[in-house]
């Protein structure tokens, strides 16, 4: 009797549970079906046609990349208008030129096309390109300094790699060579170095965010540059915070790794900017500029070393941290000089900004824990001096590299 009663009591629960699941599925499908019907009706009946007043559709065209070679000029354009747009004519320096478009035909919203112009550009001169659509709308693009775009060959890749090593990897490694001299510092010295790290990271955060928003403004409107940068930075910060604290609060080598990662993402964006400027002829990357980048980045190596002073890690850890922080500069130079696009550079800098913010939070927390006085450590003279020194050093050395 007890067994029969148990089965009888258990059976009714199954139909009730499955009934609830079917009801939940139904209420999930119904709104989606209603949305599909509404979209179908909107496309078929086109009720907005009654609001038309004969004005041409809104058109938008963004220039994403310019390539100058022996056979002329090629520009990559992206359409962002409300309707497909057709490129009718192209002017170079106020003269109409024959052009070819790949792929041919109208450009839908978000579509890209290469425009090839057999124009005999002049080395070192400025040229103006003006694209005219079939509605009469015009879109201008200026080539400030005409120089041949680097090609994808072993020689160019090697020269860019060497430059990336000089401005990214070498200064970080030099900064980390101060590690033995720093190990004997006391509590105030430790606070100074950790605050120095926070100061240089704070400068990098402001610098990376400013460049990301500037590049976002140059990208096509459909990418919603300002929102893209903000959301990417926030996502990067939250994901790294979750990953960093999955096994507890990061300390020592783990914290140094996050510092190197944040700096590496910033150096990736820095490499993108250098490569793009180098390809466009907008920056003469001479010896003075390279030396400026080296001085600017040496402090990054010191900042990476600061959390590891209490316990010396193995040698391979230093090599790995230097590669993580400085290596992305090489990748950035390759991408920036050979396949630059403002929206992707802005996205890389935004991710780097979020990573740097995460590191600032973790280093600040580590400083308070290692000092033993909690938040009071943040107002100690050594801490304030380190913070000011980090920001000031990065600001002054940045004057050498801004062009």
Cα separation, 336 vs 278, whole angstroms: 9
Cα separation, 116 vs 71, whole angstroms: 9
Alpha-helical regions (H) of 136-224: 154-164, 170-176, 179-182, 187-218
Summarize the confidence of residues 5-26 as an average pLDDT.
61
Is residue 78's pLDDT more than 80?
yes
Please list the residues that pair with 334 across neighbouring strands. Answer: none
Nearest to 72 by CA among 109, 121, 143: 121
Q: What pLDDT was estimated at residue 116?
A: 95
Write out pLDDT tens, residues 114-135: 999 999 988 888 899 999 998 8
Query: Which one is predicted more confidently, 117 or 204?
Result: 117
Most confident segment among 145-149, 211-215, 307-311, 336-340: 211-215
Chain centroid offset of residue 380 CA: 35
Label residue 1 by pLDDT band (50, 70, 90).
Answer: very low
Chain centroid offset of residue 95 CA: 37
Is residue 8's pLDDT more than 50?
no
Flag the least confident range among 69-83, 196-210, 268-282, 331-345: 268-282
Q: What pLDDT was estimated at residue 33?
A: 86
Q: What pLDDT was estimated at residue 16?
A: 54
Cα separation, 332 vs 48, whole angstroms: 46
Label residue 7 by pLDDT band (50, 70, 90).
Answer: very low
Summarize the confidence of residues 346-350 as an average pLDDT.
82
CB 131 within 8 A of CB 60: no
CB 168 within 8 A of CB 328: yes
Summarize the confidence of residues 96-117 as an average pLDDT.
90
Model confidence, pTM: 0.71
Average pLDDT, the chain: 79
Phi, psi of 116 (to 5 degrees): -105, 130
Percent of the chain with pLDDT over 90: 9
Label residue 4 by pLDDT band (50, 70, 90).
Answer: very low
- What lies within 8 Å, CB to CB, of 235 at 6+ separation is 354
Summarize the confidence of residues 366-381 as an average pLDDT.
79
Flag the least confident range among 16-20, 87-91, 148-152, 253-257: 16-20
Query: Which one is predicted more confidently, 55 or 178?
Result: 178
Q: What tokens were used for 289?
A: 């500029």
Is residue 25's pLDDT more than 70?
yes
Label residue 51 by pLDDT band (50, 70, 90).
Answer: low
Q: What pLDDT was estimated at residue 17?
A: 58
CB 157 within 8 A of CB 150: no
Write out pLDDT tens, residues 257-275: 888 888 887 788 777 777 7
Percent of the chain with pLDDT over 70: 82
């Amino acid at each position: 009797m007890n067994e029969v009663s148990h089965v009888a009591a258990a059976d009714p629960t199954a139909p009730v549970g499955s009934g609830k699941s079917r009801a939940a599925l139904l209420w999930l499908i119904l709104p989606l079906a209603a949305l599909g019907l509404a979209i179908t009706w909107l496309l078929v009946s086109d009720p907005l046609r009654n609001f038309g007043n004969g004005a041409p559709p809104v058109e938008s065209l963004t220039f994403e990349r310019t390539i100058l070679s022996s056979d002329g000029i090629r520009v990559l354009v992206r359409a962002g208008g409300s309707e497909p747009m057709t490129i009718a004519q192209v002017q170079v320096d106020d003269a109409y030129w024959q052009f070819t478009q790949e792929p041919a035909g109208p450009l839908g919203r978000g579509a890209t096309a290469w425009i090839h112009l057999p124009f005999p550009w002049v080395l070192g001169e400025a040229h103006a390109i003006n694209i005219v659509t079939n509605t009469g709308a015009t879109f201008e693009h200026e080539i400030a300094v005409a120089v041949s775009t680097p090609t994808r060959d072993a020689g160019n890749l090697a020269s860019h790699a060497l430059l990336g090593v000089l401005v990214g990897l070498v200064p970080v490694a030099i900064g980390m060579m101060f590690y033995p001299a720093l190990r004997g510092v006391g509590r105030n010295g430790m606070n100074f170095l950790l605050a120095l790290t926070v100061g240089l990271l704070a400068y990098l955060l402001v610098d990376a965010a400013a460049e990301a928003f500037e590049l976002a403004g140059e990208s096509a409107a459909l990418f919603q540059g300002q929102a893209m940068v903000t959301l990417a930075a926030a996502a990067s910060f939250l994901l790294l915070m979750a990953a960093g604290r999955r096994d507890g609060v990061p300390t020592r080598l783990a914290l140094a790794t996050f510092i190197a990662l944040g700096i590496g993402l910033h150096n990736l964006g820095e490499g993108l900017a250098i490569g793009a400027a180098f390809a466009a002829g907008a920056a003469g990357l001479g010896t003075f500029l390279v030396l400026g980048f080296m001085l600017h980045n040496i402090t990054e190596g010191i900042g990476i070393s600061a959390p590891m002073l209490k316990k010396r890690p193995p040698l391979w850890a230093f090599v790995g941290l230097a590669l993580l922080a400085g290596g992305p500069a090489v990748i950035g130079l390759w991408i920036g000089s050979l396949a630059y696009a403002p929206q992707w550079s802005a996205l890389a800098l935004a991710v780097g900004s979020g990573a740097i913010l995460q590191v600032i939070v973790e280093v600040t927390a580590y400083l308070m824990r290692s000092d033993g006085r909690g938040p009071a450590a943040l107002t100690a003279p050594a801490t304030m001096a380190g913070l000011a020194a980090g920001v000031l050093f990065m600001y002054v050395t940045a004057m050498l590299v801004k062009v």
